[in-house]
Structure 1
């Protein structure tokens, strides 16, 4: 108990001591803390988090007035008189059994545990998760107020009259038949089970997942309040009395025919099927997926209405004139060589590996435009792309003026040699493996800028990058003074010899395998990756017991401590950090190492 009290004091955790008990007046987070024991009669007035600790046994008479998380610990047994007011998370513990008459006031997570059966009169007021456990026997009577997840367990049957108020997931189990009078208020997941037949008049309020099952026929009067997933099934036709509120996935199934006048309120995926005819008056208020099927005859005589159309991998050379697409058009891996003029899409346009050489004038794409691996050499003037533009591995040689990009611009592995001045990229700019030697004036990149494996030697002083800057394996030799980055800076595997004045890197600075040997005094960073033996103006030590290292460096007018690459602060701040991270004995050892490093650095640099 004394060691535990010492830990509470160093962490400034509020507690009180009563008759043979300790009350923690707030939540107690011990995740990944190297603590092995907790005292009996412990009361937590909040949550208790023991994730990834070395604790093997919960104390007797433990009271947690919030949630208890013990996931990924070596706990084997349920303690005496455990009282938890909230949820209990025992994922990947070694607990094999639970006490009878157990009531859990929130969720109960027993995933990937040795639990084989549930105790008598179990009551769970939230969700019960048993995924991947040894569970094989469900009681006739038990009470779960939320969802029940039995996926990847050894269970082979469910009790009759089972009533689940949330989702029921029995995916990848040996269950062959659904029980009588099954009631599910949420989703029903049967993927990769041995179920072959569904009962008539089945009413599922959420999604119904039948993917990769042996079902050949859907029951009469089936109602699905969400999505219906029939991917990889043997179903050949859809009954006329089927009601589905969401999308229908039939990709990779044996479907041959759809009913006339079918309306799908979300997506309809028929990809990788052998369907030969689309029904009359088919309406899809979302995505119609016809990937990798023979669509030429399929669409020629069809009056289909859809919001988005997916023809990826289809053997088609031109767009059918009788189908109007307003949102997204997916044409990758097709044989299309030309698009209609004045094409305007509110969503995406994908043309990856399409033999198209030229885009139509006045093309407007409201989402993502994918031109990767195409033969396109130039882009039309005033091209407008509201989302990302991907030109990677294309034949593009030049960017147009007045290019409007709302997201990322991917030019990696192209023959681009020059970027226009004043380019604004509101996402990531990828120039990896291009022939770019110089960046333009007033370049603004909202997210990341990739210049790895380029011939860029210097950066302009007016460059603005709000995310990460990648220069690894580039020809960079010098960085501009006063460079400020809110993300990471990667300089590894370059020949750069020194860092610029007043460099600010908010997150990680990587200088591994460079010629840098000194860290400048005005440098600021969040964390650093370096060849520790190469840097001359630091002092470092390794702590083998906890597999960590520290080093001292003189920055911003004082000695700073770096722990496992992360800048912690001055000696006082480092000692406070150590007290929070380690138990007293380890903390004292680490603090002494820090003091030794600081003293040696002071002597090495002749500091007062």
Structure 2
């Protein structure tokens, strides 16, 4: 039998049991502009999604289980309770919470969203079922042995080192972090983004299923047998791409000292070598999109070349009569002789 409980001057249905009170949401409940500082402390279960918008609550009851998503927006004075369990997503990105600490015993069934928040560290006993999205947050350190089946996005934070035994099932994004080295036992399932970092060496046994972004980093060498969909080494110190490298979609090597590409990179969707030192392209190169060579050192195109998009040759020494016909169709290739960065 359900009864009613007053929150912020409005009555909401609840269910009583010997273990406590359940707030009945009908699937989803929005509490907005509630000026009460005290959330009813007898509530220990919420049976659906709970949204708190522009509320004056200072604390939630402990323990508390939200059977769905918990979304906190513009509640600066709120502190989350110890032993909070959210079976769905916990979204704090727009919370404006002044607290610098997440509570002990926090468990999130899906993903934790805390971008632009002031939280400095994660609880050592934190449990997250999918991903942590914490870009541009106050995060300074990660707990030892953190393991996520999804992604860890901490770009633009103060993270300066990674813990040992870090396991990320999908993407690890460290863009613009003050980090200079990676642990040798780092395990990343899909993608790694080190753009703008001081990292100079990649783990020897690094294996990725999707993408590697190194633009503007200090990385000097690629590991052998690297196989990715997208590879960006733009504005790095990398001078050579190993012959065992495999890229299935796109390679971006703008403004690098790479002088040649291995034959293993002869089929791509997009290839960008703007302002590079490249002098040789693979014979029988096939590009399904655009080929960017403007301001590169290239003087001669391969005799067998197929590009379905446009070839950008502005600022190069390639002669206009040195463009072959498309090796797949026999048609004239489309060339832009003017565009330069």
TM-score interval (norm. to shorter): 0.7 to 0.9
Matched with 2:98 is 294
Q: Classify 1:522/1:345 alpha carbon distance in 2 versus 1 (closer, same or farther; 3 Å).
A: closer
Mapped to 1, the partners of 2:25 and 2:121 lie a distance apart of 36
**1:155-182 deviations in whole A, cap 9, x for unaligned?**
xxxxxxxxxxxxxxxxxxxxxxxxxxxx
**Residues 470, 384 of structure 1: CA spacing in aligned structure 2 closer, same or farther, 3 A cutoff?**
same
Q: For residues 99-122 of structure 1, what are the alpha-carbon distances to aligned partners after superposition, in whole Å with 9 as ceiling and x for unaligned?
A: xxxxxxxxxxxxxxxxxxxxxxxx
Match of 1:234 in 2: 33
Aligned to 1:45: none
> Counterpart of 1:321?
124
Q: For residues 430 and 331 of structure 1, what CA distance do their matches in structure 2 show?
A: 23
- In structure 2, relative to structure 1, the CA distance for the partners of 1:529 and 1:224 (3 Å cut) is farther
Task: Identify if the C-alpha distance between structure 1 residues 224 and 501 changes in structure 2 by more than 3 Å, giving closer, same or farther.
Answer: farther
Pair 1:402-2:208 in alignment: no
Counterpart residue number, 2:336: 530
**Number of equivalences:** 311
Equivalent residue number for residue 421 of structure 1: 224
User: 2: distance between equivalents of 1:469 and 1:462?
Assistant: 13
State yes or no: 1:411 paired with 2:211: no
2:20 corresponds to which residue?
none
Tell me the equivalent position of 1:449. 251
Aligned pairs for 1:126-525 (under 5 A) are 220-221=12-13, 234-236=33-35, 245=48, 247-250=49-52, 253-256=54-57, 260=61, 262-278=64-80, 282-291=84-93, 292-296=96-100, 299=103, 303-307=105-109, 308-425=111-228, 427-516=229-318, 517-518=320-321, 519-521=323-325, 523-524=327-328
CA distance in 1, matches of 2:88, 2:234: 36
- How has the CA–CA distance of structure 1 residues 271 and 414 changed in structure 2, closer, same or farther, with 3 Å as cutoff? farther
8 Å Cα contact 1:445-1:464 kept in structure 2: no
Q: 1:325 & 1:263 partners in 2: Cα distance?
A: 14
Note the alpha carbon deviations across 1:7-55, whole angstroms, 9 max, x for none.
Answer: xxxxxxxxxxxxxxxxxxxxxxxxxxxxxxxxxxxxxxxxxxxxxxxxx
Cα distance between partner residues in 1 of 2:189 and 2:143: 20
Q: Shift in Å at residue 387 of structure 1? A: 2.6
- Cα offset, 1:502, TM superposition: 0.9
Distance 1:452 1:229, change over 3 A: farther
Q: Are the structure 2 counterparts of residues 398 and 250 from structure 1 closer, same or farther at C-alpha, using a change threshold of 3 Å?
A: same
Per the normalisation by structure 2, the TM-score is 0.76
| Cα RMSD, aligned residues only | 3.5
Residue 250 (structure 1) shift: 3.5
Gap runs ≥5 in structure 1: 1-200, 202-215, 533-608
RCO higher in structure (CA 8 A, sep ≥6): 2
CA distance in 1 between counterparts of 2:292 and 2:33 reads 51
Inter-partner Cα distance in structure 2 for 1:352 and 1:451: 22
| Shift in Å, 1:401 | 0.7
Query: Which runs of structure 2 are paired with 1:565-604 in the superposition (5 Å)?
Result: none
Cα pair distance change 1:296/1:515, threshold 3 Å = closer
Q: Using a 3 Å threshold, how does the CA distance of structure 1 residues 224 and 435 change in structure 2: closer, same or farther?
A: same
Query: Cα deviation per residue 1:375-415 (whole Å; 9 max; x = unaligned)?
Result: 22222224221232111101101111110212211100111
Distance change in 2, residues 1:254/1:464 (3 Å): farther
**Aligned equivalents of 2:308 and 2:261: distance in 1?**
19
In structure 2, list runs of 5 or more residues that go unmatched: 14-22
The alpha-carbon deviation at position 493 of structure 1 amounts to: 3.4
Following the alignment from structure 2 to structure 1, what is the Cα–Cα distance between the partners of residues 10 and 237?
57
State the shift of 1:267 in Å.
2.5
Larger-Rg structure: 1
